[in-house]
Structure 1
């Protein structure tokens, strides 16, 4: 699981592409609130 609001990149566009396009191919991408709701 990748917590999208707990990681960052200096370049906001790189962060967006990673979180929306790259990471979802390999893991679940959730916000902290979404993740804690599943616990």
Structure 2
């Protein structure tokens, strides 16, 4: 897995943990939890 930066969130996640909407990667569940 490669690391990507998700939109709307200043966190890097592995490609398998990202949530995709079309071609855009958004925060993963982990990322969302970390930002609360």
Q: Same fold (TM over 0.5)?
A: no
Structure with a larger share of its residues in strand: 2
Larger helix share, 1 or 2: 1
Whichever of the two has the greater Rg, that structure is: 1
Q: Specify which structure has the bigger relative contact order, considering alpha-carbon pairs within 8 angstroms and separated by 6 or more residues.
A: 1
TM-score category, normalised to shorter length: 0.3 to 0.5
